[in-house]
Amino acid sequence: MDMHQISQLRWYKNWRILVPLFLLLVFLYVYLMVGLSLAYTYFWWSFRSEGAFQWAVPEQVAQGAEPLIPPLLHQTWKDSQLPDEWKEAQRSCMDLHPGYEYKLWTDKDAEQLIATKFPWFLKTFKSYPYGIQRADAIRYFVLYEHGGIYLDLDVVCNKNLDYLRHFEFVAPKTYPVGVSNDIMMAKPHSDFALRLIKQLSTWNIFLFVKYATVMFSTGPMFMTIQYALYAHKERLSILPVQLYGKYKLTSDALFKHLHGSSWHGSDGKYILWIDRNAMLFASLVLLLLVSAATGLFVFCRHRAIVRRGNVGTLGQGAGGLAPGGVADAARGTLYGLAAMPSAVLARSGAGM
């Protein structure tokens, strides 16, 4: 075989590796984006003092200022027949705001709004595998189009919310980081609401379990990441925890939460476990990445040695490097790497 044929063979073998690698990177791009955005979000929230936020408190409202947010109350449900368990919460908010217009958005209303005002999003809206994703998404579009106050059905109003209408966009601070989307206020065509609806298509991702998929594609973590990445945070006001009332109910709390969360599945428990054991989980992920990188390095090195051995055999006869010996050596290296975690665990166990 001449050198031209050997060169063609080398390119063929390279493409056999590069094409699957490229496809793998394309597949992993979304998950890499999620990981980097989440890391930045945790970093951003972890190193911010209380004074770094624009707080949605009465003291921030200028005397005599005109409200920016219209007197509208928005809620969503699959149809017009609201379950009895949510009627008390609904009534509490309506009674405290007698001059407000109230709108219960059904699934039919939601799809009609998207189809008529935002047809570019209709395909994505219909593609969501979980109904809660559509319930999350529609609240952003409603606030962008009409403005007003959005409340989840399990939220009881304790006080009148008029003063909150003087801010451009309001969302409550939540645990462990970020903001929640169960209570939101926005002026019509808010810049941040526009960012939310535009980013929904980009973040239409599947993360293997329902809880994570919902949280990052349309839910609170989606909104938290968009907040962290948003350049004009001075236009966003955060409702303090003591006024939010979700984690500790005080006399200052504007709301009482009945804690519906009916869409949470058993997978939510695992996500919450990850949050409570963040350092352990991060260590496991780091170990996995190091192991994957080591395996990839050994694989690529093995392929390079085998390729050089094949070229030597084809160009020089039987004097080339025997691939079988290299393969055996590579397998031995991988077995050794695989045995390392067990050996480390056994040693640490013996020392306990």
Residue 73 pLDDT greater than 90, yes or no: yes
Mean pLDDT of 23-44: 75
Instruction: Tell me how far apart the alpha carbons of residues 253 and 30 are, in angstroms, rounded to a whole number.
Output: 39
Distance between CA atoms of 135 and 83, rounded to whole angstroms?
16
Could you report how far apart the first and last alpha carbons of the chain are, in Å? 62
The pLDDT value given to residue 266: 45
Taking the mean position of all CA atoms in its chain, how far away is CA 240?
A: 22
Encode 159-179: b = buried (16+ Cβ within 10 Å), e = exposed: eebbbbbbbbbbbbbbeebbb
Residue holding tokens 């054991």?
277
Token pair for 64:
């005599």
Q: Which residue has the higher pLDDT, 349 or 165?
A: 165
Looking at residue 155, what is its pLDDT? 96
pLDDT band of residue 297 (cuts 50, 70, 90) is confident
Alpha helices in the chain (DSSP H): 3-46, 84-95, 107-117, 122-127, 131-146, 191-202, 210-217, 220-229, 241-244, 267-276, 278-316, 323-350
C-alpha torsion sign, points 200, 114, 146, 213: negative
Bridge pairing between strands 255-257 and 155-157: antiparallel
Residue 78 CA: distances (Å) to CA of 44, 105, 109, 142, 234: 36, 8, 9, 15, 35
Highest mean pLDDT among 8-22, 181-195, 222-236 belongs to 181-195
- ∠ CA 209-214-217, rounded to 5°: 115
Q: Answer yes or no: is pLDDT of 213 > 50.
A: yes
* Spatial distance between the Cα atoms of 104 and 140, rounded to a whole number of angstroms: 15
> Residue 82 pLDDT > 50, yes or no?
yes
Percent of the chain with pLDDT over 90: 52
Q: For residue 70, which phi and psi values (nearest 5 degrees)?
A: -70, 155
- Give residue 5's pLDDT band: very low, low, confident or very high (50, 70, 90): low
pLDDT of amino acid 14: 61
> Counting beta carbons within 10 angstroms of the beta carbon of residue 107, is it exposed (0 to 12), middle (13 to 18) or buried (19 or more)?
middle
Q: Is 321 helix (H, G, I), strand (E, B) or coil?
A: coil
Pairwise pLDDT comparison (271 vs 96), residue with the higher score: 96
User: Mind listing the pLDDT tens digit for each residue in 90-147?
Assistant: 999 999 999 999 999 999 999 999 999 999 999 999 999 999 999 999 999 999 999 9
Q: In which region does residue 106 sit, left (phi positive, over 0), alpha (psi from -120 to 50) or beta (all else)?
A: beta
Which residues on neighbouring strands pair with residue 194, listed in sequence order? Answer: none
In angstroms, rounded to a whole number, what is the distance separating the alpha carbons of residues 64 and 140? 29
Query: What is the CA angle 194-195-199, rounded to 5?
Result: 120
Please, which pLDDT band fits residue 29 given cuts at 50, 70 and 90? confident
pTM here? 0.72
Name the more confident of 47 and 252: 252
Q: Where are the domains of the chain?
A: 50-275, 280-350
Greater confidence (230 vs 332) lies with 230
- The CATH number of 50-275 is 3.90.550
Assigned token pair, 277: 């054991």
